[in-house]
């Protein structure tokens, strides 16, 4: 991994990407990892994470949007079903479980929804929480709350990258870590 002031270069398996830096606060920049539409990154990350899947896992749980392609690919490689936790409640969603979080991306409170139709897929199951990047941990905390409400047992938490202080994420199964850049 390398940093030149404008981009941060990462490697996932044999795949190399240059991540643009984005200022999230005065003098604080983060490398933006967006794998939407990047099939090579999604497939490579899914293959690598599948090899590190907890043996007792029965279901993958992913938040929408950017983690959905990863969830789909990891589902194929691991042969586990996956459930998408929504960030917006649609009119057709009934009997939802809800958890509120604050996203680093939006900076605003956000509610996560587990559609009532999906509750049986995680209830009394061993689940793995999956995200693209874990930065502040707010989304993973929201997923934990939803799984507790749903009666699921969390047997692992996975991400392509963690961000911030590495010691905050020692329990996360990850492929790499993104630093926070300060002036």
Q: Are 65 and 86 in contact (CB under 8 A)?
A: no
pTM: 0.91
Which pLDDT score, from 0 to 100, does residue 105 have? 57
Alpha-carbon distance of 139 to 103, in angstroms, equals 7
**Residue 103 pLDDT:** 63
Beta strands in the chain (DSSP E): 2-3, 7-12, 15-25, 28-31, 59-63, 82-85, 97-102, 109-114, 126-134, 153-163, 173-178, 180-182
pLDDT for the residue numbered 73 = 97
Residue 28: what pLDDT? Answer: 87
pLDDT tens over the chain, length 183 residues: 555 568 999 999 999 999 999 888 888 889 999 999 999 999 999 999 999 999 999 999 999 989 999 999 999 999 999 999 998 888 898 898 999 887 655 667 889 999 999 999 999 999 999 999 998 888 999 999 999 999 999 999 999 999 988 888 999 999 999 999 887
pLDDT, position 1: 53
User: CATH classification of 35-176 is 3.40.50.2020, yes or no?
Assistant: yes
């Amino acid at each position: 991994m390398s940093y030149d002031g404008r981009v941060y270069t990462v490697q996932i398996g044999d795949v190399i990407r240059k991540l643009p830096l984005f200022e999230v606060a005065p003098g604080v920049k983060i490398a933006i990892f967006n794998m939407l539409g990047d099939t090579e990154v999604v497939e490579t990350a899914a293959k690598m994470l599948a090899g590190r899947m907890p043996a007792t896992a029965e279901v993958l749980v992913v938040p929408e949007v950017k983690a959905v392609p990863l969830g789909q690919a990891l589902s194929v490689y691991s042969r586990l079903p996956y459930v998408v936790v929504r960030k917006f409640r649609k009119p057709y969603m009934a009997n939802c479980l809800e958890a509120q979080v604050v996203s680093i991306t939006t900076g605003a409170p956000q509610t996560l929804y587990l559609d009532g139709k999906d509750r049986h897929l995680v209830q009394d199951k061993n689940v793995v929480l999956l995200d693209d990047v874990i930065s502040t941990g707010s989304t993973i905390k929201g997923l934990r709350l939803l799984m507790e409400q749903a009666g699921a047992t969390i047997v692992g938490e996975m991400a392509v990258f963690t961000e911030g202080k590495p010691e905050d994420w020692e329990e996360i199964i990850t492929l790499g870590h993104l630093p926070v850049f300060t002036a």
